[in-house]
C-alpha cells in the first residue's frame, strides 16, 4: 500500500516525479508528426483497444500499464494542437493550463464547501468578480464555474424561470413547484441555437413545446422582427413569455444575435435575457473585435466557456448573473455541508449557487492563464483566429468551385464544394471529409446549411497561417475532383 498518493514522505515524492516524468516523455513522443489524427476507422479502433479484461486478477503495475497506454491509446488520440484539427468548438490547451491540470488533479479540491477547498474557494470568488467586471457587470453581479456551456445555460434558464414565476407571477416555485399555468410559459431562442435549450426545457418540466424557435436572417442571426412578432402573438394567445436567449456565436456559423434590440423587448415584457456566449465570450479579449460583444452587460445572465476560444482544457465554463440574489433559487442548507452559522462568519460555500455538489477547481486555469499571457497576449491569440476566418472566407468566396454560406462574425467558416451536377455535391462533401480524416489526418467539421451538406472550419488555433489555409483549400478541391 506504499506510494499510493503524493504525501510528505520522500519515497512518495520520488515516485510521483518518476511517474510524471515518464508520462510527459510518452506524451511528447506521441507528437511524432503534424497531423491531427493517425487515421484508424471505428472498426479498426475497436480491435486496437480490445482486451479480454481491464480488471486482471493481479495488477500489471505502472510500467506495463504505461506500455499498454503508449501502444493502444496515445498514438490514436486526437492532437487538438495540430493546425489540421478544426471540426468543432474544441480547442488545443495552452501549456500553462496543462500544468494547471496537474495541480488540480494532485490536490483534488472539491468546490462545494469552504472546508474542502479553502484557497480554491477564495480564488474562484476572486476570478468570478474579475469576470463580472470584464463583461461589464457591477458589484451586484455574481457567478459560478460549471462543467460546460450546457450546464451554464441550464443554470441560467432555471434562475430565469424561478425569477419570473416568483417576481412576476408572484408564486413560490421553490416551495410549491410549477404553477398550474406552467404549460403557457414560453422561452425564445434562435432556430440554430444550441440543443441545450430544448434539453433544459425538458429537464425543467416545461417540455420542448415551451421553446419557441425564432427564424434567422441571411447572416444566420436571429431575425428580431420575427422574434417581436412571435412574442406579441403568444401574449395575445394567453401564453407567458419569460425568457429570450441571445446566442453570441452559434455553434456552426459563429453568428451573433441582436442583443440591444432583444434587451429592449425583454424589458417591455418583463422577460429575462440570457446570453449563450459559450463560443463568443472569448471575443471580449480581442482589442480589434471586442466591440462585437461589448453589450453583454445588458443581459441578465451570460454563459462563458473557457474550453473554446480561451484555449483551456475541458472542462471549464462559468455562468455570470447580473443580480447575485437570483442565485437564492439554488440555495438549500445541509448541516453536514453548508451550515448557515459558518456562512455568517465569512465561510463561503459555493454549493449555494451550483447545480453540482462535487466540482473541480477549474477557476485556477483562468487565474493562471490570464496572468501568464495578459491582455496583450490574449488579444493576439483571439484576434489571429478571427483574422484567419476572414481570410479563409475571402479566398473561398473568390473560388468558383466553392459556395460559402455567410461571412463569419467570429472564427467559423461554413462552405461547400459545388459540383457541376449539384445533386452530387452533398455526397462529394461527405466523402471529402471522411478522406481527410482517415487518409490525411486532417479533421474538419460537417454540417447542414440551407438544406445542403457543408464543410466547416472552426478556427481556434492561433498557429494557423494563411499559407496553411491556402493549402487546405487546395487539398479539398483536389479531393473533391478525385471522388466525383
Evaluate if residue 448 carries a pLDDT over 90: yes
Kindly give the interhelix angle for 363-397 and 466-483, rounded to the nearest 10 degrees: 60
Residue 225 has pLDDT above 70, yes or no: yes
Above pLDDT 70, what percent of the chain? 98
Q: What is the pLDDT of residues 153-166, one digit of tens each?
A: 999 999 999 999 99
In angstroms, the CA 141 to CA 220 distance is: 31
Name every residue whose Cβ is closer than 8 Å to that of residue 326 and which is 6 or more positions away in sequence: 159, 162, 163, 300
- Compute the distance between CA of residue 215 and CA of residue 230 in angstroms, rounded to an integer: 10
Rounded (5°) CA angle 38-44-50 = 110
Write the DSSP symbol of residue 462. Answer: T
Distance of CA 471 to the CA centre of its chain: 29
* Mean pLDDT value of segment 106-131: 96
How many other CB atoms are found less than 10 A from the CB of residue 325? 10
DSSP count for the chain of H helices, then E strands: 14, 12
Task: Give the separation between CA 79 and CA 90, rounded to whole angstroms.
Answer: 11
Q: What is the pLDDT of residues 285-336, one digit of tens each?
A: 999 999 999 999 999 999 999 999 999 999 999 999 999 999 988 887 665 5
Residues 6+ apart with CB under 8 A from 150: 194, 196, 199, 200
Task: State the pairing for strand pair 443-449/452-458.
Answer: antiparallel
Q: What average pLDDT score do residues 450-462 get?
A: 97
Q: Is the CB of residue 286 less than 8 Å from the CB of residue 379?
A: yes
Q: Please answer whether residues 229 and 253 qualify as being in contact, where contact means their C-beta atoms are separated by less than 8 angstroms.
A: no
Q: For 33-75, how does the pLDDT look when each residue is reduced to its tens digit (9 = 90+)?
A: 999 999 999 999 999 999 999 999 999 999 999 999 999 999 9
* Beta-bridge mates of residue 303: 276, 319
DSSP conformation class of 215 = P
Task: Kindly list the distances between the CA atom of residue 435 and the CA atoms of 33, 417, 423, in Å, as whole numbers in the listed order.
Answer: 18, 14, 20
CA distance 113 to 348: 7
The pTM is what?
Answer: 0.95
Beta bridge partners of 277: 304
Amino acid at each position: 500500500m506504499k506510494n499510493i498518493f503524493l504525501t510528505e514522505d520522500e519515497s512518495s515524492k520520488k515516485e510521483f516525479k518518476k511517474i510524471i516524468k515518464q508520462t510527459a516523455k510518452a506524451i511528447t513522443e506521441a507528437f511524432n508528426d503534424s497531423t491531427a489524427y493517425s487515421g484508424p476507422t471505428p472498426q479498426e479502433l475497436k480491435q486496437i483497444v480490445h482486451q479480454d479484461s481491464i480488471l486482471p486478477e493481479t495488477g500489471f503495475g505502472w510500467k506495463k500499464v504505461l506500455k499498454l497506454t503508449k501502444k493502444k491509446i496515445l498514438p490514436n488520440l486526437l492532437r487538438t494542437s495540430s493546425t489540421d484539427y478544426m471540426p468543432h468548438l474544441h480547442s488545443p490547451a495552452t501549456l500553462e493550463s496543462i500544468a494547471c491540470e496537474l495541480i488540480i488533479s494532485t490536490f483534488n479540491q472539491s468546490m462545494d464547501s469552504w472546508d474542502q477547498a479553502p484557497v480554491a474557494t477564495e480564488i474562484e470568488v476572486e476570478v468570478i468578480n474579475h469576470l463580472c467586471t470584464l463583461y461589464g457587470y457591477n458589484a451586484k453581479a455574481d457567478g459560478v464555474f460549471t462543467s460546460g456551456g450546457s450546464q451554464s445555460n441550464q443554470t441560467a434558464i432555471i434562475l430565469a424561470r424561478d425569477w419570473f414565476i416568483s417576481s412576476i407571477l408572484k408564486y413560490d416555485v421553490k416551495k410549491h413547484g410549477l404553477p398550474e399555468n406552467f404549460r403557457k410559459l414560453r422561452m425564445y431562442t434562435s432556430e440554430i441555437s444550441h440543443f441545450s435549450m430544448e434539453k433544459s426545457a425538458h429537464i425543467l418540466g416545461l417540455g420542448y413545446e415551451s421553446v419557441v424557435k425564432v427564424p434567422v436572417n441571411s447572416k444566420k442571426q436571429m431575425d428580431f422582427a420575427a422574434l417581436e412578432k412571435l412574442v406579441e402573438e403568444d401574449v395575445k394567445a394567453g401564453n407567458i413569455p419569460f425568457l429570450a436567449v441571445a446566442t453570441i456565436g452559434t455553434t456552426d456559423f459563429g453568428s451573433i444575435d441582436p442583443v440591444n434590440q432583444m434587451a429592449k423587448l425583454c424589458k417591455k415584457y418583463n422577460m429575462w435575457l440570457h446570453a449563450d456566449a459559450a463560443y463568443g465570450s472569448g471575443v471580449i479579449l480581442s482589442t480589434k473585435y471586442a466591440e462585437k460583444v461589448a453589450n453583454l452587460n445588458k443581459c441578465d445572465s451570460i454563459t462563458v466557456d473557457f474550453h473554446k476560444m480561451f484555449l483551456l482544457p475541458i472542462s471549464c465554463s462559468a455562468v455570470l448573473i447580473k443580480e447575485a440574489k437570483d442565485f437564492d433559487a439554488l440555495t438549500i442548507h445541509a448541516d453536514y455541508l453548508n451550515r448557515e452559522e459558518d456562512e455568517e462568519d465569512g465561510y463561503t460555500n459555493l454549493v449555494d449557487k451550483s447545480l453540482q455538489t462535487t466540482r473541480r477547481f477549474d477557476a485556477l486555469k483562468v487565474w493562471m492563464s490570464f496572468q501568464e499571457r495578459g491582455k496583450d497576449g490574449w488579444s493576439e491569440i483571439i484576434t489571429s483566429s478571427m483574422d484567419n476566418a476572414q481570410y479563409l472566407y475571402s479566398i473561398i468566396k473568390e473560388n468558383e468551385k466553392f459556395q460559402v454560406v455567410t461571412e463569419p462574425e467570429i472564427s467559423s467558416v461554413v462552405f461547400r464544394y459545388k459540383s457541376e451536377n449539384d445533386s452530387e455535391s452533398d455526397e462529394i462533401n461527405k466523402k471529402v471529409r471522411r478522406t481527410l480524416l482517415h487518409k490525411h489526418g486532417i479533421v474538419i467539421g460537417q454540417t447542414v446549411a440551407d438544406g445542403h451538406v457543408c464543410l466547416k472550419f472552426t478556427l481556434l488555433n492561433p498557429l494557423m497561417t494563411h499559407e496553411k489555409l491556402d493549402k487546405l483549400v487546395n487539398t479539398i478541391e483536389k479531393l473533391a475532383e478525385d471522388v466525383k
